Amino acid sequence: MIRDFTIVAQNVDMLLLGLANTAVLSVLTTVLSLALGALYSVILMAEGKCIRAFAQIMLDTVRCIPVLLLIYVFYYQLPAFGIVLNNWAAGLCALVICHTAYMAEIIRGSWVVLPKEYTETAISFGFRGLALYRRIVFPPIILAAAPMIGNQVIIIVKDTAFLMIVAVSELTHAATSIQSRYYVPFAAYVSAIALYWVLCRFVGMGVSLVERVAEARRG
């Protein structure tokens, strides 16, 4: 067993490269899906009943799609429509679309409980359009939703592992290549799991940092 872990230690550069890829993919997915989710939540909170219902149905549908199904569609099947994405881009697109739905739902959830007077006051003070959302509506929502967003980020980190199936060289893929080259499955996977755990710990620390900021703002 110790020999197995020594082999993994000799190939630690592969694992770390995988970890870096996983981290980059997670950060990109988080940022993009949070931004798109915020945009989408504006539609979910729109005045028109029809628009709202349609947006909700779209959202519920996307929430029924497993990430891997979407990854398959983007990587293997979009070329049939003349759209060719490499595995990295296809995977990123699939992850972003899936998680946009969840982020939109999270943001809507804490938007609903935001007092109406809050935005009405801002409007009466002359806030309009982008400034209204950027300065008044979203900051308290994002701060209040930080724990839920943090949970979602951990799900994103774990979902990047699906990309090994389309050969994106992220952490799971790196562990699998070490495993298959030296046949040290236990050592390789346990080491990778430890790295995932550290990554998720960082996310948790980020969330507590944001919560402290939120606490300070509330005064």
Partner 1 sequence: MSLAETATLLQGAALTILLSLAGILLGLPLGLAMALIRWTHIPVLSPVLSAYVSIVRATPLVMFVLLIFFSMSTFGIEIGPIPAAVLALMLNTAAFNCEIWRGGLIDFSRGQLDAALAFGMRPSIAFLRIVLPQVWRACLPGLVNEMSLLIKASPAVAVIGLVDLTRAAARVGAATYEPLPPFLAALFFYVVILLPLIVLQRIIERYSFKHQWFA
- Residue ranges in contact with partner 1 by CB under 8 A: 60-61, 64-69, 72-73, 76-78, 80-81, 154, 157-162, 164-165, 172, 175-176, 179, 185-186, 189-190, 192-193, 196-197, 199-201
User: Minimum CB separation from partner 1 for residue 196, in Å?
Assistant: 5
User: Minimum CB separation from partner 1 for residue 35, in Å?
Assistant: 23
Question: Which C-beta is closer to partner 1: that of 37 or that of 170?
Answer: 170
Tell me how long the chain is.
Answer: 219
DSSP at 69: H
DSSP at 64: T
Q: What is the number of alpha carbons within 13 Å of residue 117 lying toward its C-beta?
A: 0
User: Minimum CB separation from partner 1 for residue 214, in Å?
Assistant: 22
| Strand ranges for the chain from DSSP E | none
User: Minimum CB separation from partner 1 for residue 37, in Å?
Assistant: 18
Question: Which C-beta is closer to partner 1: that of 79 or that of 139?
Answer: 79
* 3-state helix, strand and coil shares in percent for the chain, rounded to the nearest 5: 85, 0, 15
Q: Based on the number of CB atoms within 10 Å of its own CB, is 101 exposed (0-12), middle (13-18) or buried (19 or more)?
A: buried
User: Minimum CB separation from partner 1 for residue 159, in Å?
Assistant: 7
Residues 6+ positions from 190 with CB-CB distance below 8 Å: none
Place of tokens 């009466």: 124
User: Minimum CB separation from partner 1 for residue 123, in Å?
Assistant: 30
Question: Which C-beta is closer to partner 1: that of 54 or that of 118?
Answer: 54
Q: Write the single-letter amino acid at 164.
A: M
Contact between 200 and 154 (Cβ < 8 Å): yes
